[in-house]
Amino acid sequence: MMQQITLQHILLLSTALFFIGVFGLLTRRNMIAILMSIELMLNSVNINFVAFNKYLYPEKLDGVFFFLFVITVAAAEAAVAIAIIIHLYRYNKQIDVSETEEMRY
Amino acid sequence: METIVFYGIALFIFITGILAVTARHIFRAAIWLLFALMGIAALYFWMDLNFVAAVQIIIYVGGIVVLIIFSIFLTQQSGQKMAQSSLLQYIFSIAAVVFGTAFIGSIIARFYFVESHVVMNTAVENIGAQLMSVQQYGYALPFELVSILLLAAMIGSIVIAMKQKTKIKNS
Amino acid sequence: MSIKQYIQDVFNAIKSLLKGMRVTGYYFFHPKEIITEQYPDNKATLKLADRFKGEVVMLHDENNEHACTGCTACELACPNGTIKIITQFDITPGGKKKKALNTFVYHLELCTMCNLCVEACPTGAIVMAQNFEHSVYDRKQLTKTLNKPGSKLRAGIE
Amino acid sequence: MISLEAIKNAVQSWLQLHIGGTLALVAESILLGILVITLFAVLGLLLVFMERKVSAVMQIRLGPNRVGPKGWLQTSADTLKLMLKEGLTPDGADRFLFNLAPFMIMIAAMLIMAPIAFAKNFQIWDINIGVLYISSVASISVIAILMAGWSSNNKYSLLGAMRSGAQIISYELSAGVAVITMIILTGSLSVNDIIASQENGWWIFKGHIPAIIAFIIFMIAVTAETNRAPFDLAEAESELTAGFHTEYSGMKFALFFLAEYINIFIVCAVAAILFLGGWMPLHIGNWQAFNHVMDYIPSSIWFFGKTFLLIGLIMWFRWTFPRLRIDQLLNLEWKYLLPISLLNMLLMTIVAILKWYL
Amino acid sequence: MDVTPANTITGVFPGEVHQAPGGTIVTSKLDDIINWARANSLWPLTFATSCCGIEMMATASAKYDFSRFGFEVARASPRQADVIIIAGTIVNKMAPVLKRLYDQMADPKYVIAMGACAISGGPFFYNTYSVVKGADHIIPVDVYVAGCPPRPEALLHALITLQEKIKSGLTREQYITVKNPTE
Amino acid sequence: MTNEALKIALINWNTALVFEEGGEWLNVLVPADQWKPLAKALRTLPEFNCNYLFCLTCVDWKTHLTMVYHLTSLQWQHNLVIKSVLNRDNPEIETVSDIWKAADFLEREVYELFGVNFINHPDLRRLILTDDFNGWPLRKDFEDSVNMIRL
Amino acid sequence: MGTIALLILTIAAIIFSAGGILVSRLFTKGSINTQKGQPYECGIPTTGTPWSQFHVGYYLYAIVFLLFDVELVFMYPWAVVVQKIGFPALIEMIFFIMILFIGFLYAHKKGALKWM
Amino acid sequence: MHEVVGTTPEGDFIINVGPQHPATHGVLHLVITLEGETIKNIEPHLGYIHRSIEKMCESLTYRQFIYVTSRMDYLSAHINNHACALCVEKGLQVEVPLRAQYIRVIMDELTRIASHELWWGAMAMDVGAFTPFFYAFRERETINEIMEETCGARLTMNYMVPGGVMADLHPQFQQKVKNFIALYKKKIDEYNELVTGNIIFQNRMKGVGYLSAEDAISYGCSGPVARASSVACDVRKRYPYDVYGLVQFEEVLETGGDAFARYWVRIQEMQQSVRIIEQLIDNIPEGEFQAKTKAVLKLPKGEFYQRVETARGELGVYIVSEGGTTPYRIKFRSPGFSNLSALNQMAKGGKIGDLVATMGTLDLVIPDIDR
Ligand code: SF4
Ligand code: SF4
Ligand code: SF4
C-alpha cells in the first residue's frame, strides 16, 4: 500500500520541476524557450506556496494570495518579455541569446 | 486511489516538463509546456484547490501559452528546429540540475513539517472576503497594486512593441 | 465620438439586426413558404415547359416512319458537329437513285440544345424532346442513333 | 415521475448494494464514461441535424428528408461516412501536433461537461467554482485550434488559426465579465447555487436591465467564442476556404465539427444556467396552480428545452447575418462589448447591493 | 449497364444484398452499411468553372434543394469533400488544377461530369485550341449527365444515379477493393 | 463632336493622319511610331478628351497586323477608332497603359493572343494562356494539331 | 469525485476520438499519389512556407487580453462577495477597473488594437 | 499605420486564392501578397476558363456564332445574344420588327433582374450570409420559369436570331411577367431589410474597395461598377438600341465609389428594370417576331461594332467581315475584363475580408473575362 501523500511529496515534485526549469534555462538559447523555462520555475514556486498554505496553515489563505500575485507578475512579465523578444527579433532577425548580447536598451 | 492519481499527475508533470525544455521544435515545446501547466492545474484540483486550479488554467493555458504561441508565430520560422547549446553546456547543466535536485530534495525529505489537519476552506467567498478586506491579512491594497502593475505591464509592452522602425534603422 | 452617438450606434445596430432576424424568423414560422419541389418523387406531376429543350429526337409515326430525307441541312446548321448524317442511295420505285437517310447519329454529349437544327430542318423531322434524365455511367451511351431500326421515310416527303 | 435524478440514485444504490466499495466506484466511472460518450454522439448528431433543418426552413426549403424516416438518419450517415473516409495527414505537416489537435479539442469539450447540471441533482461534478471552471477549460480549445492551424502547413489554416486565436481570447473577456455580472447576484460560483438562487424567478427577469444586457453580451460573446457565424472568421468559407481545418479530413475533421457543436451546446447550457435558471421550472409570482403544473415537467426537460431554445437563437443568428470582418470583429469586442459589459457589471453591482432584484 | 429509374432507388436502408451485374460481386451486409453511408452523404466540392455551375447553384437553391439528399454540405476544401461535380468547361490551363484537386481529395471520392463541356468539350469541341475534350481525360468520371446546361433535376438525377452506383458497389474504388483486396 | 468636326480637329493637330471612310465612326490610320503622341493628345487635349478606352484589339490580316483602338469621350460623346498597321513578323507598338490604365490588361491579352510586343509595357506577361503555350493563337495561321479539331 | 471525474472525462474523450480514428484507419485505404500530401491552396502549388512570421498586430491582442484576463481572475472572488460587503467593494473595484481602463485607452490610442 | 519591419521580400506572405475558391465565382486565380491580413498586392491570373471563343467564332456562321456567346456571360446570356444579333443586323441592315424589339428588351431586362438576383445572393454568401442566396434564387427561379416557357431553356437560351427572335412569346408570358413584377416589388423591400439595412453588412461594405471616378474611367470600367463611381456610362441611355429609346428609366448613379455604392446601384437598377418592363409589357405590338432574312447570312465587307449594356456593363461586339458567311475576326469587349483590371486598385490596402466584398460587388463572371 502506498503511503498517504504528504507535503514532502509535493515539495519534491516542485523541486524537480524547478530544476527542470533551471535545466531549460541553462541549455536553451532561444529566448522564448528560456521564457518558457522561467514559467516552469515560477510554477514550481507556486506549487510550493499553495502546498504550504494547504498543509501547514490552512486557516488562512495567504498562500493562495501569493499564488495569485505570482501569477499576476508572471503574466505581466510574460507580456513585457514577449514584447521585448518580438522587438528584438524585428531588430536583428533572430532571438538567440548568444547573439543578442549587444542589446541597446 | 488518491495516491495513485497523485503519482499519475506527478509523473505527467515531470515528463511533460522535461519534454518542454528538451523538445527541439519550439512549437512542440510550447505544447509540452501547456501540458505541464495543465498537469499542475490537475495537481491543484487534486489538492482540492479548485479556484487556484481554475486560475492556473485561465492565466497560464488560456493566456500565457497563447501569448507564447503567438510570439512563436511572430518570431520564428517556427517550422525549424532550434539551435542547440554545446554538449559541454549540456553536461554542466545536467550535473548542476542533478546536484541541485538531490541537495534540495534531501533537505526536504529530511525536514519534518508539522502538517495541520484543519481542512482548508478554499471557498471563493473566503478568498473574496480576504481580498477585499483592509484589516490584517486583508489584501485590498495589493489588489489595487495589481492593477497598477498590470497597467504598467500593458503600457510597457505596447511601448516596446510599437517602437518605430526608424529608430531601428538608425542604430 | 460622443457618448450619445455611441449609444445611438449601439441601438441602431441592434435594431437593424433585429429587422434582419424578423425576416428569417418570418420564414421560419411560415413553413408554407417552402417552395421545394421534391424531384424524384414528383416525377408524375412534374410539368416542364412545353418548349423545354431536352434533347433532339426524330419523330416516328405508328408505321415506324419518319420524315427525314437525309438532306443534311441540320448537320450544316449545327454549330458544333453534334449531328452526323450517314446517307445511302436508295433506288426509288421509279428506278431512280435517291439519297436517303441511313443513320442519324446524334451526339448528345456534344449537343447544346440550341434548336438550330430543328429550325433548319425543312421537313420537321426532328424536334426537341423534354427528356432530361441523361445520366449515364459511360459516355459512349450518349451517342445515339435517332432513326429507329427499320424505319422508313414517310411517303410524300421530299 | 421519472427523472434523471431517480435513475441515477437507483443505479448508484444498486451498484453499492451488489458490488460495493471501490468496485462500485469503478463501475460508476465506466458508466459515466459511456454515458458522456453517448451524450456526445447523440448531441452531435442531433445538433447537426437541427442546424440543417432550421437553416432549411429559414431558407424556404425542406432540408434533409430522404435518409431514414424524415431524414433523421442523415447525420448518422454523415458521421459514418466521415468515419469511413481516409484521414489524410499532409506531408509537410507536423504529424504529431496535427493528430493531437482533434484530441485536444475533444478533451476540452468533454471536460467542460463536468459541472453542468443536466437536471435536478444530476451533474457529473458539483465543483464549487462551476462557472469559473467552465470559462477556464473553454480556453483550452484556443490552443487546439492554434495547434491545428499551425501544424497543417497550410496558409489558409494558419491565417484561420491566427484569426480565431485572437477572436476567441478577445471574446473570452466579455463573456467572462457577463458571467461575473451574474455572479454578483448569485454570490456563488457553483452551478447548483446559481440555479438554486433562481427558484423564484429567473435572473433574466429578476435582474432588471443589467441582466438583459449581460445576457445579450454573453450570447454575442459565446457565439464568437464558438466560431459561429456571424463570427465564423476562422473558417470563413469565402475567404479562407475552410479555415484552420482545411487540411483535416475524415474522422479528424468530424471531431472538429462535433466539438463545435458540443461547444455550442455547452455555452448555451451555461447561458441557460446563468440567465434562465438551468433546470428550474418557470415560476410566475404567486400563481400557485401554474407553478405547480410547471413543477410537474421533469427538470431535465426544462434544462434541455432552455438550452435548445438558446441554440436555436444562435442558429438564427447564423442564418441571418453576414460575417464580420476581422478588424470589425475585434473592434466590436474592444470598443463596444468590453466597455459596455464592464459598465454593466458596475451597474449590476449597484443593483445587487441595493437589493433591487427580488 | 443500365441506369435504374430514379424513383426506385431512394431511401434504401441497408440490409438487402445487392446483386451486381454479372453476379460476380455480392456485397456483404457490412459493405452495404458502408455504402449506404457513403451514398447518402455525398458532400460536393465547390467546384464550378462556368455556366453549369449556375445550374449547380440552382440545384442547391430552395426550389430543387439537394439538401434533401444530404448533399448540401458543400465543402470548399477537397479534403472534406466526397464528390467533385465538374460543372463547366475544363480548359488546358485548368486541367492540372482539377487533377490536383482530385488528387488531394480523401478517398473514397467520386466524380460527376456535368454538362456537355465536362463530358466532351461540348460546344467547344471543335475549333478551339484550349478546351479539354472531356474531363475524363484528366480524372476518372463516375457519372455523366448531358445537357447544356443540364437542368437542376437532371443534376439531381445524376446524383441519384451516383448513389445507386455506390450502393451497388460499382464505383472505381469499390471495384478495386473487391477485385483485389490486397491492393 | 461629330465625325466631321473630329476629323477637322485631328487634321489640325497633325495633317499626316489618314482617314478611312465608311463605318459609323471615324477611323484614323496612324503609323505605329506616331501612335503614342497621338494617344497623348487624344487623352489630354480638351477638344478630344478621349478618356475612355473601351476596346483594344488586333486583327490579323495575314499580311500584316492591325491594332484597333476604340476610344470614346464621356464628355463629348464622340467615338473614335484608331488603327495602326504593324509588321507581322516583328509587331511592335508603344504601350498606352500609362495613358489609359485599361490598356494594361488589354495589351497583355493582345500580346499573348497575337504576339504584339508593347514597348515599355510595365508587366508584359502571359495573362490567359499557360506559360508554356506555343504560338499566337488568334493569328490566322495558328494551327494546333493536338488540341484543335477542325470541323 | 473531483479529479477522478476529470480523469474519466479525459479518458472518455480520448477513447471517443481514438475509437473514431481507429475505425477509419481500419476501414479505409487511401490512394497514393504525389500531390495528395501537398498543402491545399485552391489547386495551385504553394509558394513559400506558411510558417513565416506574422504581423505585430496579432500578438498585441494577446498581451492586452492576458492582462485583462488577470483582472478577471481577481474579479471572480470579488463578485462573489460584493453583495455582502457592499459599497466599499464596489469602490475598490471601480478604482481597479479605472486604472486598467487607462491602460486600455492607452492601447487604444496607440492603435495597438487594430487588426493588421 | 507604422511600417512593419519583419517582412523581407521573401518573407511576404503570398497566398493563392482560386481557381477553385468559393469567393472567386468561378475560376479566377488571384495571387495575393499579404502583410498580416492587409493586402499589399493582387495579381489576377486569368485563363482558367479561356475557351477561345473568339477563335471559334471565326469558323461559325453568323447564325451559329450567337449561341456561343450565351456561354460567355451566361448570366446575361440574352443580352449577349442581343448584342451579337444587333451587330449582325447592323451589317445586314435589316429592320427588326417592332414586336421583336419589344420582346428583346423585355427579355433583356428580365435577364438583368435574374443576373442581379444571382449576384445579390452570391455576394451575400461571400460576406457570410447564407439565407439571402435562397431568397434570391426563389425570384430567379420564377424568372427562369418564365424564360423557359418562351425560350425553352433556363440559362443558355439562344433565343435571339439575326432579324428578331426565334419563336413568338408564350401565350401566358405577359400575365406571368406581370404577376412576377407585382410580387417582386414587395420582395425588394425584404431584401433591404435583410441585407441592405443590416449594420454588419453596411460596415462590411461602406468605404471598402474604393474606386474614384477618374480611375473608373481610366480602367475602362463600365456598368454598375462605373456608375457607382458616378460615371454615367449606361449604353441604354447613351446609345439606345432597339426600343430603349422609347422607355423612361433613370440611369442610376451613386457617388460613393465603394462596395456599398455598387451594391446600391444594382439594387436600384433592378427597380429600374422593373420599371422598363412595366412600360413595355402591356404594349407589345402585334406583328412579326422575326424579319425575313436569307437562309445563309453574308455580311458585307467592313467592320461593325455594337455595344449593349449587360448586367455587368458595356459589352461590345466587334465584327470584322470579309464578306463571307463567317466573321473574319470577332472581338468581344467584355465588361468584366476591364472591371477586373481595376481590382488591384480597389482592394490594395484592404483586408482579405474586404477583398471578398469587393469581388462580390464587382460581380465578375469569369468566362466572360476569359472568353
Ligand atoms: S432531319 Fe431534317 S434537316 Fe436533318 S437531314 Fe433529316 S430532313 Fe434534313
Ligand atoms: S440542338 Fe443545336 S447543338 Fe444540338 S444538334 Fe441541334 S443544332 Fe446541334
Ligand atoms: S455544358 Fe453548356 S452550360 Fe455547361 S458549362 Fe458547358 S457551355 Fe456552359
pLDDT digits (tens, 9 = 90+) for D149-192: 888 777 777 777 877 787 888 888 888 888 888 888 877 777 77
Residue type for position G93: M
Cβ-contact D66, E70 below 8 angstroms:
yes
Range of the domain at B90: 2-122
Cis geometry, peptide bond prior to residue D230 (ω within 30 degrees of 0): yes
The single-letter DSSP state of residue B28 is H
Q: Within a domain: residue D65?
A: no
Minimal CA separation from E162 to chain D, in Å: 15
pLDDT tens digits along B20-29: 887 777 778 8
Nearest ligand to the C-alpha atom of residue C85: 1
Minimal CA separation from B101 to chain A, in Å: 6
d(CA C56, CA C75) in angstroms, rounded, equals 12
d(CA C82, CA F151) in angstroms, rounded, equals 11
Q: What's the pTM? A: 0.85
* Closest Cβ opposite residue E97 in set G31, G36, G44: G44
d(CA H301, CA A98) in angstroms, rounded, equals 81
pLDDT tens digits along B77-113: 555 566 666 777 778 778 877 888 788 777 777 777 6
**Taking CB atoms and an 8 Å limit, are H195 and C19 in contact across chains?**
no
Q: What angle do CA D126, D131, D137 make, to 5 degrees?
A: 95
Q: Within a domain: residue D253?
A: yes
Domain-by-domain residue ranges, chain G?
Answer: 54-116
Cβ-contact H49, H363 below 8 angstroms:
no
In chain C, the N- to C-terminal Cα span, in Å, equals: 86
Q: Within a domain: residue D136?
A: yes
Q: Within a domain: residue C11?
A: yes
Q: How far is CA E72 from CA E45, E66, E75, E106, E155, in A?
A: 10, 6, 9, 18, 13
Check residue G54 and give its pLDDT: 55
Minimal CA separation from C157 to chain H, in Å: 21
Residue B54: half-sphere exposure toward Cβ, Cα within 13 Å: 28
- Helix or strand run (H / E) with residue D122: strand D122-123
d(CA F81, CA F71) in angstroms, rounded, equals 6
Check residue B118 and give its pLDDT: 64
Kindly state whether residues C104 and C76 are assigned to the same domain: yes
Check residue E182 and give its pLDDT: 38
Kindly state whether residues H99 and H190 are assigned to the same domain: yes
Give the atom of ligand 2 at the shortest distance from the alpha carbon of C106.
5
Check residue B84 and give its pLDDT: 62
Kindly state whether residues B65 and B101 are assigned to the same domain: yes
Kindly state whether residues B141 and B103 are assigned to the same domain: no
String of DSSP letters for F96-109: -TTT-THHHHHHHH
Beta strands at H38-45 and H29-35: parallel, antiparallel or unpaired: antiparallel
Check residue E20 and give its pLDDT: 41
The burial of C2, by beta-carbon neighbours within 10 Å (0-12 exposed, 13-18 middle, 19 or more buried), is given as exposed
Counted domains in chain D: 1
Give the closest residue to C133 by CA, choosing from F122, E31, E160, H234.
E160
Kindly state whether residues B58 and B26 are assigned to the same domain: yes
- Helix or strand run (H / E) with residue F69: strand F64-72
Check residue E17 and give its pLDDT: 35
Nearest ligand to the C-alpha atom of residue H158: 2
Q: What angle do CA G116, H5, H6 make, to 5 degrees?
A: 80
Kindly state whether residues B128 and B118 are assigned to the same domain: no
Q: How many CB atoms lie within 10 A of CB D35?
A: 15
Q: Within a domain: residue C74?
A: yes
Q: What angle do CA D317, D320, D326 make, to 5 degrees?
A: 75
The answer, for B8 touching chain A at a CB cutoff of 8 Å, is no
Which residue's CA lies nearest to atom 5 of ligand 3?
E88
The answer, for A49 touching chain B at a CB cutoff of 8 Å, is no
Question: Which residues of H have a CB under 8 Å from any CB of C?
Answer: 60, 63-65, 67-68, 131, 138, 141, 145, 148-153, 156, 158, 166-167, 170, 190, 193-195, 197-200, 202
What CATH class does F3-119 carry?
alpha beta
d(CA E101, CA G48) in angstroms, rounded, equals 19
Cβ-contact D270, D136 below 8 angstroms:
no
Quick check: CB of H230 below 6 Å from ligand 3? Answer: no
Give the closest residue to H56 by CA, choosing from F127, E121, F135.
E121
* Helix, strand and coil percent figures for chain B, each rounded to 5: 75, 0, 25
Q: Within a domain: residue C45?
A: no
**Taking CB atoms and an 8 Å limit, are E122 and C108 in contact across chains?**
no
**Taking CB atoms and an 8 Å limit, are D36 and G9 in contact across chains?**
yes
Compare D177 and G41 and report the one with higher pLDDT: D177
Which residue stretches of chain C have pLDDT < 50?
none
Give the closest residue to B114 by CA, choosing from H136, A6, D266, E44.
A6
A91 pLDDT more than 70: no
Which residue's CA lies nearest to atom 2 of ligand 2?
C114
Q: How far is CA H214 from CA B8, E7, E181, in A?
A: 71, 59, 67
Out of 3.40.50.2300, 1.20.58.1610, 3.40.50.720, 3.40.50.2020, the CATH code matching G54-116 is 1.20.58.1610
Cβ-contact H286, H174 below 8 angstroms:
no
- Helix or strand run (H / E) with residue B22: helix B2-22
* Closest Cβ opposite residue C31 in set D57, D317, D321: D57
Residue of E nearest to H69 (CA): E123
Kindly state whether residues C68 and C22 are assigned to the same domain: no
Minimal CA separation from G2 to chain A, in Å: 17
Residues of G in contact with H29 (CB under 8 A): 42, 44
Check residue H367 and give its pLDDT: 82
CATH number for position H223: 1.10.645.10
String of DSSP letters for chain E: --PPPGGGSTTPPBTBPPBPGGG--B--HHHHHHHHHHHH--PEE--B-SHHHHHHHHHHSTTT-GGGGT----BSSGGG-SEEEEES--BTTTHHHHHHHHHHSPSS-EEEEEHHHHHH-GGGSSS-SSB-S-GGGTS--SEEE-SSSPPHHHHHHHHHHHHHHHHTT-SHHHHHHHH-TT-
Residue-level pLDDT, tens digit, chain H, 371 residues: 223 333 344 456 777 777 777 666 777 888 888 776 778 888 888 888 888 888 888 888 888 888 888 888 888 888 888 888 888 888 888 888 888 888 888 888 888 888 888 888 888 888 877 888 888 888 888 888 888 888 888 888 788 888 888 888 888 888 888 888 888 888 888 888 888 888 888 888 888 888 888 888 888 888 888 888 888 888 888 888 888 888 888 888 888 888 888 888 888 888 888 888 888 888 888 888 887 877 777 878 888 888 888 888 888 888 888 887 888 888 888 888 888 888 888 888 777 778 888 888 888 888 888 87
Residue type for position D220: I
Kindly state whether residues B129 and B96 are assigned to the same domain: no
**Taking CB atoms and an 8 Å limit, are B132 and G106 in contact across chains?**
no
Range of the domain at D102: 89-354
Kindly state whether residues C77 and C3 are assigned to the same domain: no
Question: In the numeric block, which cell numbers belong to residue B168?
Answer: 531601428
d(CA G113, CA B31) in angstroms, rounded, equals 27
Nearest ligand to the C-alpha atom of residue C115: 2
Q: How far is CA E60 from CA C36, H55, H110, in A?
A: 11, 34, 22
Nearest ligand to the C-alpha atom of residue H71: 3
Question: In the numeric block, which cell numbers belong to residue F139?
Answer: 493569328
Residues of H in contact with G58 (CB under 8 A): 36
Kindly state whether residues H135 and H235 are assigned to the same domain: yes
Expressed in angstroms and rounded, the spacing between residue C48 Cα and the centre of ligand 1 is 26
Sheet holding F52-60, edge to edge: F18-20, F26-29, F79-87, F64-72, F52-60
d(CA C119, CA C73) in angstroms, rounded, equals 10
**Taking CB atoms and an 8 Å limit, are E10 and D66 in contact across chains?**
yes
Kindly state whether residues C79 and C123 are assigned to the same domain: yes
Q: Within a domain: residue D217?
A: yes
The answer, for F144 touching chain E at a CB cutoff of 8 Å, is yes
Residue-level pLDDT, tens digit, chain E, 183 residues: 333 333 333 333 333 333 444 444 445 677 777 778 888 888 888 787 888 888 888 888 888 888 888 787 777 778 888 888 888 888 888 888 888 888 888 778 888 888 888 888 777 777 778 888 878 888 888 888 888 888 888 888 888 888 888 877 766 665 544 444 333
**Chain G interface, best mutation among A39, A42, A70, A72, by max G CB count within 10 A:** A72
Q: Within a domain: residue D187?
A: yes
Kindly state whether residues B131 and B87 are assigned to the same domain: no
* ipTM for the assembly: 0.84
Q: Within a domain: residue D178?
A: yes
Quick check: CB of C121 below 6 Å from ligand 2? Answer: no
- Dihedral angle computed from the Cα positions of residues D326, D327, D328 and D330, in that order, rounded to the nearest 10 degrees: 90
Check residue D55 and give its pLDDT: 81
Quick check: CB of C85 below 6 Å from ligand 1? Answer: yes
Kindly state whether residues B155 and B82 are assigned to the same domain: no
Which residue's CA lies nearest to atom 6 of ligand 2?
C117
Kindly state whether residues H20 and H115 are assigned to the same domain: no
Quick check: CB of C83 below 6 Å from ligand 1? Answer: no
* Closest Cβ opposite residue B149 in set A39, A40, A76: A76
- Dihedral angle computed from the Cα positions of residues B45, B50, B51 and B53, in that order, rounded to the nearest 10 degrees: 10
**Chain D interface, best mutation among C7, C24, C30, C32, by max D CB count within 10 A:** C24
Q: Within a domain: residue D34?
A: no
Check residue H95 and give its pLDDT: 83
Kindly state whether residues C13 and C76 are assigned to the same domain: no
Expressed in angstroms and rounded, the spacing between residue E51 Cα and the centre of ligand 3 is 5
What CATH class does A7-98 carry?
mainly alpha
Give the closest residue to H45 by CA, choosing from H35, H32, H61, H62.
H32
Range of the domain at C101: 55-153
Q: How many CB atoms lie within 10 A of CB C52?
A: 20
Question: In the numeric block, which cell numbers belong to residue F94?
Answer: 508603344
Beta strands at E110-114 and E83-87: parallel, antiparallel or unpaired: parallel
Contacts of F among chains (3+ CB pairs under 8 A): E, H
Q: What is the mean pLDDT of residues B120-127?
A: 67
Beta bridge partners of C90: C98
- pLDDT grade for G83, boundaries at 50, 70 and 90: confident
Beta strands at H314-321 and F18-20: parallel, antiparallel or unpaired: unpaired
Give the atom of ligand 2 at the shortest distance from the alpha carbon of C78.
7
Give the closest residue to E138 by CA, choosing from E96, E180, E105, E178.
E96
Kindly state whether residues B86 and B114 are assigned to the same domain: yes
Minimal CA separation from B165 to chain H, in Å: 6
Residues of D in contact with G23 (CB under 8 A): 83-84, 251
Cβ-contact H310, H214 below 8 angstroms:
no
Q: What is the mean pLDDT of residues D330-351?
A: 81
Give the atom of ligand 2 at the shortest distance from the alpha carbon of C116.
7
Contacts of G among chains (3+ CB pairs under 8 A): A, B, D, E, H
**CA D195 remoteness from chain centre:** 17
- Residue position matching grid coordinates 515528463: B15
Beta bridge partners of H302: H321
d(CA E125, CA G86) in angstroms, rounded, equals 83
Backbone φ, ψ for residue H59 (5° rounding): -115, 15
Kindly state whether residues B30 and B89 are assigned to the same domain: yes
* Closest Cβ opposite residue D322 in set H37, H124, H135: H124
Range of the domain at H38: 2-45
d(CA H146, CA H138) in angstroms, rounded, equals 13
Q: What angle do CA H196, H201, H204 make, to 5 degrees?
A: 135
* Closest Cβ opposite residue E161 in set C41, C109, C135: C135
d(CA B124, CA G81) in angstroms, rounded, equals 9
**Taking CB atoms and an 8 Å limit, are E106 and D250 in contact across chains?**
yes
Q: How far is CA F147 from CA A61, B52, D11, E89, E124, in A?
A: 83, 72, 75, 14, 11
The answer, for H10 touching chain A at a CB cutoff of 8 Å, is no
Give the closest residue to B128 by CA, choosing from D5, F5, D128.
D128
- Residue position matching grid coordinates 440611369: H251
Residue of G nearest to D347 (CA): G90
Counted domains in chain C: 2
Check residue G51 and give its pLDDT: 56
- pLDDT grade for A2, boundaries at 50, 70 and 90: very low
d(CA H165, CA H242) in angstroms, rounded, equals 13
